[in-house]
A and B are shown apart, each in its own frame.
Chain A
């Protein structure tokens, strides 16, 4: 996808800083605050999104540009609503701007409709079969253009253009980057409970463009995207030898991460996509190891007796959070990336598992054992609070650290989304049941 207008992005005076809901006060190590699940946040931006105009209705490989203008606006509205940080309206029920008005909105009309912010845009069919999608953000009160961006795309990529537009709006109005132009790899499940058919599947973050990566002959578990999205690591029972594998997305080739007689599982990428930490069970003892993604001799990082698993890197790559039962119950520990200086950070009575370090670095998501509720804590273990009420496991972070996907339900799971600030949840649509989601970084251009 080619981005245009980059140098033309016009930034006006910043709005008042987004007031992030702070976590409620909690003593270090104390549980637990159940987030308000009604979906209210302190700051919500009211955004109007009318249909995108077209200079001339034209048929493309993805349909007529007039229809695409409607569909792109709908995707943007859904993205913003999904994030729980916006109150979008449109495109139905709103006036449709003409192509000539895309860059010069009638501010008084939009002010009268109660919009603080306005998104307008256009879809144009080009002679070479590509589309140009323009996306503009206006401050209605200030009567000014806040940002604009354009994309030259293949018609089949129109949803990505809409996501990129929504990401720009998210980034402009909040202090964070967005997370709409992203994908999720997860395990699609079907069949009876004792013999679940488990397939790797990949989809856009909103469930669109779903496809299966494996056919279900072998049980697969716990996929993870490389941050650069060139590879996916996962665990497979291929040939009844359960091991960690690496899938090259470009070639489709799959290879074992390490050779050897022992069962390997729980793989996670380092932030630079060059290293994988994983667990290996040797003679009743499971430890965390690291190895280059290209393979080689694993380096053992933990050596306490017991089960050490679920390693996840801090965003700077210097530390690894993992879970261990060395103290008698599953709890969260942090160590340096070379395995030195392990220290326990969670002391909750319920126990904590499946730690995942936020890409922002400020929080660690976890599954509370027993209750199977998803929670977050600070990297020093303080401020623990639970986000979800129903049983689930396996949190994965949005690239901006403001939302989490997780598996809701145990034997039969679904992929769900929870907004970290408000605790608002929603299901991510999948054609089958699902487990073990892994949320990608923003897609490269």
Chain B
């Protein structure tokens, strides 16, 4: 899982902070995440997914990660609305997908732990579907996009705080390995 987050902590933190500034609902804003024991889910090692010689295979997961600002977008509490920042990330993802037109991807939808289990499965599907629709609107064929909701079953940050919750309310665009 951590291999997908090759851009590391700093970029994710920046995205969340920007997303917070643009939100219309201040009480539910995700604050900038703190580092510390709540952030153990992030990988900061950028080498995984590339060959030992550093050559990246076009259309590979490593290529995708290197080519887009992020493989994920974040959502406000109980929301599946894409933020401006999220759309910007997805524009880049769509561009990559349109370049690598033989790659099919899975869009995972996730929720934080503050919803009940089954509701969060539905909420995660809403988020994944919002991403799918946006990528389709940018020219990606629908049959290349599969969605799967994990609800609150796969958190990446484990603190009982907004910094952690805000990182778990996410979609992840997953390019198959190899």
CA distance A339 to B100 in the complex (A): 45
CA distance A411 to B160 in the complex (A): 10
B121 nearest in chain A by CB position: A265
CA distance A283 to B132 in the complex (A): 9
CA distance A410 to B159 in the complex (A): 12
**B123 interface residue (CB < 8 Å to A):** yes
Interface bits B17-57 vs A (CB < 8 Å: 1, else 0) = 00000000000000000000000010000000000000000
B125 nearest in chain A by CB position: A281
How close is B150's CB to chain A, nearest CB, in angstroms? Answer: 8
Is B118's CB under 8 angstroms from A263's CB?
no
How close is A58's CB to chain B, nearest CB, in angstroms? Answer: 50
**B126 interface residue (CB < 8 Å to A):** yes
How close is B172's CB to chain A, nearest CB, in angstroms? Answer: 13
> Please, which residues of chain A bring their CB within 8 A of the CB of B114?
370
Is B154's CB under 8 angstroms from A286's CB?
no
How close is B30's CB to chain A, nearest CB, in angstroms? Answer: 18
CA distance A353 to B119 in the complex (A): 8
How close is A237's CB to chain B, nearest CB, in angstroms? Answer: 8
CA distance A242 to B153 in the complex (A): 12
CA distance A281 to B151 in the complex (A): 12
Total B residues in contact with A, Cβ cutoff 8 Å: 27
**B122 interface residue (CB < 8 Å to A):** yes
Is B117's CB under 8 angstroms from A307's CB?
no
Given contacts A194-B1, A194-B158, A196-B153, contact A307 B122 (CB under 8 A): yes
Interface bits A337-373 vs B (CB < 8 Å: 1, else 0) = 0000000000000000110000000000001011010
CA distance A193 to B129 in the complex (A): 25
Is A307's CB under 8 angstroms from B148's CB?
no
Is B149's CB under 8 angstroms from A281's CB?
yes
B95-152 with Cβ < 8 A to chain A: 106, 113-119, 121-123, 125-126, 129-130, 133, 147-149
Interface bits A79-97 vs B (CB < 8 Å: 1, else 0) = 0000000000000000000
**B80 interface residue (CB < 8 Å to A):** yes
> Please, which residues of chain B bring their CB within 8 A of the CB of A281?
121-122, 125-126, 129, 149
A392-440 with Cβ < 8 A to chain B: 393-394, 410-411, 435-436
B158 nearest in chain A by CB position: A193
**A145 interface residue (CB < 8 Å to B):** no
Which A-B residue pairs are the 8 nearest by beta carbons?
A: A284-B129, A281-B125, A286-B122, A307-B122, A353-B116, A266-B118, A193-B158, A284-B126
Chain A residues close to B by CB (< 8 Å): 193-196, 198, 219, 221-222, 240-242, 263, 265-266, 279, 281, 283-284, 286, 307, 309-310, 323, 325, 330, 353-354, 367, 369-370, 372, 393-394, 410-411, 435-436
Q: List 30 A-B contacts (CB under 8 A).
A: A194-B154, A194-B155, A195-B154, A196-B153, A221-B121, A221-B153, A240-B106, A242-B121, A263-B121, A265-B118, A281-B121, A281-B122, A281-B125, A281-B126, A284-B80, A284-B126, A284-B130, A284-B133, A286-B125, A286-B126, A307-B119, A307-B126, A309-B118, A310-B119, A325-B119, A354-B116, A369-B116, A394-B117, A411-B113, A436-B117
A sample of 10 more A-B contacts (CB under 8 A), given A221-B153, A242-B149, A284-B129, is: A193-B155, A194-B41, A240-B106, A242-B148, A263-B125, A281-B129, A286-B125, A307-B119, A307-B122, A394-B117
